[in-house]
Structure 1
Amino acid sequence: MAERISDQVEAILLDIEGTTTPVDFVFGVLFPFARDQAERFLQAHGQEAAVQADLALLRQEYEADRVQGLDLPDWQGDEPTAAVAYIQYLIGCDRKSIGLKSLQGKLWNQGYADGSLQSQIYPDVYPAFKRWKAAGKALFIFSSGSIQAQKLLFAHTDQGDLTTWLSGYFDTTTGPKKEAESYQKIASTIGLPPEQILFISDIAAELQAAQAAGMKTLFSYRPGNPSKDAESFPLIENFDTI
């Protein structure tokens, strides 16, 4: 039997969107939920310290955008709900914003708690988690979504709570996903040489950064993913052979 690439590593690092979870769930369910619920959420929770911290980050981002001359919605006044139009603007352009991602995590927490949301994962993900863990592999997530959002997604899947299979989570507070230094930091945090970690993503630029850091890499092509251009990376269509 041919050796699986997972046999060559001690840890597996996974992207979410287009890798473990359909792109359409993110863009067709999670993003619209955050967009539509933002005003109501800020009316109820906008004065909480954690939400105020997110809004402060977003205000800094807004001012930086203004300096660049971007065509922005108005953000006038100090009321939390004054930020809604800018939040919706960022969601619409899928900005990898730390403040936005943190706030989205809080919005989604409410949705998961009241049953409005249930995460979707591909059917081969849970069996792969079990197989990899049985083989002694440590499993980690690296996503542009906040760590809170990652934990919520895997805790409320259509196949049950999968957080018990995961050893840790990384988001863009570690660094951008398209920079090699981020993957070097992840390897250091995990406590393994980069060559002992396999990173799987549907974005070639992320794989290039991980490869530059020394990690092994696979390109994930799933139904509905925007690109099948794996460039020079081995392409997989599910986790069954890994």
Structure 2
Amino acid sequence: MNADWVVLDIEGTLTATSQVHVVLYDYARPRLGPWIDAHGDDPVVVAAVAQIRELGDLPPAAGTAEVVAVLHGWMDADQKIAPLKTLQGLIWEKGYADGDLTTEFFPDVAPKLRQWHSSGVRLAVFSSGSVAGQVASFSRTTDGDLTPLFSKHFDTVNAGPKREAPSYRTIAAGLDATGPRIVFFSDVPAELDAARAAGWQTVGVARSGEPFGDADFEPHPTIGTFDAVEVSL
């Protein structure tokens, strides 16, 4: 494939789903309440809590316990809701900085990312996890610090929902690139459909044992490992 940019999903594409749903979620869950209480003067946290109260139909004076109950409900339902992702990202950022967390990628991932980067193809991420959480997850991995490989990061706040074509048009504008010069890798067919509707090239990543490992990726070309694809300028 020929492209100027490779844009990558994370969960199920670069890492096992369990890296998020088990390792990261379990790390964030007990820390949400203490984080909110300890950062009551942080405008980002204040704004997130206000959004949670509004979206969770809580009264304006609802306490931390009520806010956390809403957050835990969203986590249990795997809801990709912005204020939850914001708080999780802040907690994960500190966890990676403190050495509590380390990201484990599929073994084919880091070598291919380094190959693309060294060849001049630019790399970006589009994930439902916050930009802060993304950067943190690449900063401490079993393959070292991979943050220098990436030029741009996008989430559902600065781009939009992952299953809607306008989000991919927003990202293309942010990359200063046309759709045909961007290739998107994801394990979720609906995300690939949205990217293709925006004029992007697309590749499905069907990882054995992952939730979408047996999904129907047609009409998108599909791989089971990054070793099966080449991208160059």
- Normalised by the length of structure 2, the TM-score is 0.92
Equivalent residues, number: 226
**CA separation in 1, counterparts of 2:94 and 2:59?**
25
Gaps of 5+ in 2: none
Change over 3 Å in CA distance of 1:219–1:162 after alignment to 2:
same
Task: Choose the corresponding residue for 1:45, options 39, 42, 49.
Answer: 39
1:44-193 aligned at under 5 Å gives the runs 44-63=38-57, 77-173=61-157, 174-193=159-178
* Letter of the 1:241 counterpart: A
Preserved contact between residue 12 and residue 197 of structure 1 (Cα < 8 Å): yes
- Determine if contact 2:134/2:153 at 8 Å carries over to the other structure: yes
Task: Flag structure 1 segments of 5+ consecutive residues without an equivalent.
Answer: 64-73
Percent identity over the alignment?
39
2:179 is the counterpart of 1:194: yes
- In the alignment, which residue of structure 2 is the partner of 1:71? none
In structure 1, distance between residues paired with 2:3 and 2:128? 24
Alpha-carbon distance in 1 for matches of 2:205, 2:176: 25
Residue 204 of structure 1 is matched in structure 2 by: 189
1:28 corresponds to which letter in structure 2? V
Tell me the C-alpha RMSD between the 2 structures: 1.6
1:36 to 30, 49, 55: 30
CA offset at residue 75 of structure 1?
A: 7.0
Amino acid at match of 2:90: K
What's the offset of the Cα at 1:84?
Answer: 1.0
TM-score, normalised to structure 1, is 0.88
Q: Distance in 2 between matches of 1:112 and 1:126?
A: 18
In structure 1, what residue type is equivalent to 2:196? Q
1:140-178 Cα deviation digits (max 9, x unpaired)? 000011100100111111111101000100000211111
> Which amino acid letter does the alignment assign opposite residue 226 of structure 1?
P
